[in-house]
Structure 1
Amino acid sequence: MIKDRLITLFNKERTSVWFEKETGIDRYRWGNVRNGKARITDAEIEAVIALFPQYALWLVTGEVAPESGQTSPEYDEAHRNLVGQDAG
């Protein structure tokens, strides 16, 4: 679900306060979305896509298309780990 994928973007650095500063959407609104007390709206989806355009496809479909620059946080993390490893 879109909401579940959006929630994975929150972490220690990207809190409701951070999202408020970056999007202009109230921190309490973000907190309610994150905690399941509010339904996500187009405004939140559009705000997140503006912040993370590389996650647009993943956010709405759950799919990635790295050849088109469309990834996911998990894909990016796996790619970082692979780049850091020796191939032989």
Structure 2
Amino acid sequence: MKEKIRAIRNAEGMNRTELEAVTNIPAKTWANIENGQQKANEDHLLAITNAWPKYALWLMTDQTAPEIGQISPEIEATRAKLKQA
């Protein structure tokens, strides 16, 4: 889960302080999760999915459904690159 949270944060171009501002969960907590010192709990997962519903399916199941707007950070990165071209 820690890798997925980091991937979402990176895909959205945020540092942990910015993530704190969006989720109201302290940056230190996000650092602890990403560094494996703490496990993500229900509150953390809800904060991420409320902020970015487009990643909810991928976050919880490793699946995507782009046709209904459920993507992964990799798909988001590809979309961003295509927009730049």
State how many pairs are aligned: 84
Report % sequence identity: 31
> Could you report, residue by residue, the CA deviation over 1:28-86 in whole angstroms, capped at 9, with x for unpaired residues?
1111011111011111100000111001000101110011110111012223445666x
**More helix per residue:** 2
Q: Which runs of 4+ in 1 moved over 4 A?
A: 82-85
Verify the 8 A CA contact 2:55 2:72 in the aligned structure 1: yes
Q: TM-score, normalization: structure 1?
A: 0.81
Verify the 8 A CA contact 2:2 2:35 in the aligned structure 1: no
Q: Cα RMSD over matched residues?
A: 2.0
Secondary structure at the aligned position of 1:47 is classed as helix
Residue 46 of structure 2 corresponds to which residue in structure 1? 46
> Could you report, residue by residue, the CA deviation over 1:12-39 in whole angstroms, capped at 9, with x for unpaired residues?
9411111111111111111101111101
| C-alpha separation in 2, matches of 1:16 and 1:66 | 27
Residue 55 of structure 1 corresponds to which residue in structure 2? 55
| C-alpha separation in 2, matches of 1:81 and 1:6 | 21
Secondary structure at the aligned position of 1:76 is classed as helix
Q: Following superposition of structure 1 onto structure 2, how do residues 9-48 of structure 1 map, counting pairs within 5 Å? A: 9-11=8-10, 13-48=13-48
